[in-house]
Amino acid sequence: MSELISVGLGDRAYDIHVGAGLLARAGELLAPVARGIVPVVTDAHVADIHLPALLDVLGDAGIDARPIIMAPGEVSKSFAGLEKLSGELLDLEIDRKGLIIALGGGVIGDLTGFAAGVLKRGVAFAQIPTTLLSQVDSSVGGKTAINAKQGKNLVGLFHQPKIVIADTALLSTLPRRELLAGYAEVVKYGALGDADFFEWLEVNAAKALAGDEPAMVKAVAHSCRMKADIVARDERETGDRALLNLGHTFGHALEAATGFSDRLIHGEGVAIGMALAFRLSVKLGLCPGPDAERFTRHLKAIGLPAAIADIPGSRASADELVGHMAHDKKVTDGKLTFILLRGLGQAFVTRDVPLDAVKSVLTDG
Ligand SMILES: NC(=O)c1ccc[n+]([C@@H]2O[C@H](COP(=O)([O-])OP(=O)(O)OC[C@H]3O[C@@H](n4cnc5c(N)ncnc54)[C@H](O)[C@@H]3O)[C@@H](O)[C@H]2O)c1
């Protein structure tokens, strides 16, 4: 049971394989692109659980894989993390025409993709995403980055992977909170461009999140297909790709206001951000109220936060949150960019949003 999605980017086109148990086929899928020493970059959590199985199948396929283990969490997506990783990759004398494998969540994928993009002016890399967020979002589309002290993802480049292998069985070891946070990015695809998918999720998401493999494979594959279509149309985010930021302007502001701490993890910020984008769209008379209510109802039913009040601890003021938005990189010529909705499945990009309405949603939401 696996699905194949092609990302149509001409000479940088690649395949995304989605299926339950695909790790067992990683050797066979990677052998055609592997060459010489093949570093496998992962973090200490994933190394404990999934690295031995991957090293076994790569070894069986005759691939000379060498693990590099980073500290888990955002701390590794930093200049210090890049220095450590680059040093280890260079010590292995990686071939400029070789391959680097990223085995992990978005942190490992973003860091490894960035290191691969800059080392020796660009080495190929493969993504084996192990979180739901990375399977449906960060492993696809070629955005790579590390964080700077001025903000997240500010130092990066576009570097498309050679292949993505998303094994949904790996998600069974993911903490429930991380699984749900990743689900926010799945439901985002329904909200932004596919009302039928949203309806399917209303019926099937709980099942998928409880371990039903066919349902999870369908949810991941459909999400990847939607992202692949958008990326193929607009690789460098000059237009449509911005739709993928639905909920992110609000979400990042909430993450910043909670100090990027455990109080609110990225996907939870996106979930609340999407609910706020719906509420702002209703307030501006763009979206029917019942669509926004239906969206919020689904988030709650799945167990995701849907309002600012759902974040534990003290609440940031609307002014403080708008201040954080102004520092976000989605600001062009001093104007905030929002993704708003005309209804479920009908998102659009706008820079024409009255600040008063934003503040009022941040105060009520
Ligand atoms: N490049 C992009 O387009 C893009 C898109 C969205 C998000 N991102 C980035 O992705 C990052 C977040 O990614 P994430 O949510 O995957 O976080 P993550 O990589 O930090 O993983 C979350 C946690 O889960 C653990 N983990 C990973 N896989 C596991 C598994 N199968 N079983 C048990 N534990 C596992 C990790 O060790 C970590 O502790 C952020 O840095 C964000 O900026 C990038």
Counting from 1 in the atom list of ligand 1, the atom nearest the Cα of 170 is 31
Active site residues: 121, 143, 185, 227, 237, 241, 245, 248, 252, 266
Q: Which residue has the tokens 């439901």?
A: 187
**Residue-wise pLDDT tens digits, 90-119:** 999 998 999 999 999 999 999 999 999 999
Are 150 and 187 contacting, i.e. CB atoms less than 8 angstroms apart?
A: no
CA of 330 to the centre of ligand 1 (A): 22
pLDDT for residue 314: 86
Q: What is the pLDDT of residue 337?
A: 87
Model pLDDT, residue 238: 85
DSSP result, 279-346: HHHHHTT-S-HHHHHHHHHHHHHHT---SGGGSSSPPPPHHHHHHHHHTSTTEETTEE-EEEESSTT-
pLDDT for 331 equals: 58
Q: Which of 90, 94, 78, 80 is nearest to 145 (CA)?
A: 78
> Which CA distances in Å does 184 have to 188, 237, 286, 313, 344?
6, 21, 23, 22, 15
CA–centroid distance, 285 to ligand 1, in Å, is: 36
What separation in angstroms does the CA of 327 have from each of 8, 41, 141, 244?
Answer: 33, 31, 24, 19
Task: Kindly report the protein residue whose alpha carbon is nearest to atom 13 of ligand 1.
Answer: 106
Q: Give the global pTM.
A: 0.96
Residues with a CB atom less than 6 Å from ligand 1: 43, 45-46, 49, 72-74, 77, 104-108, 110, 130-131, 133-134, 137-138, 141, 143, 152-153, 170, 173-174, 178, 266
For the chain, what percent of residues have pLDDT higher than 90? 89
DSSP-assigned states of every residue in 101-162: EEEESHHHHHHHHHHHHHGGG--EEEEEE-SHHIIIIITSS-EEEEEETTEEEEEEEE---S
Q: Which residues of the chain have pLDDT under 70?
A: 328-334
What pLDDT, on a 0 to 100 scale, did the predictor assign at position 332?
Answer: 60
Q: Which residues contact 322 (CB under 8 A, 6 or more apart)?
A: 253, 355, 358, 359, 362
> CB–CB of 222/189 below 8 Å?
yes
Q: What is the pLDDT of residue 21?
A: 97
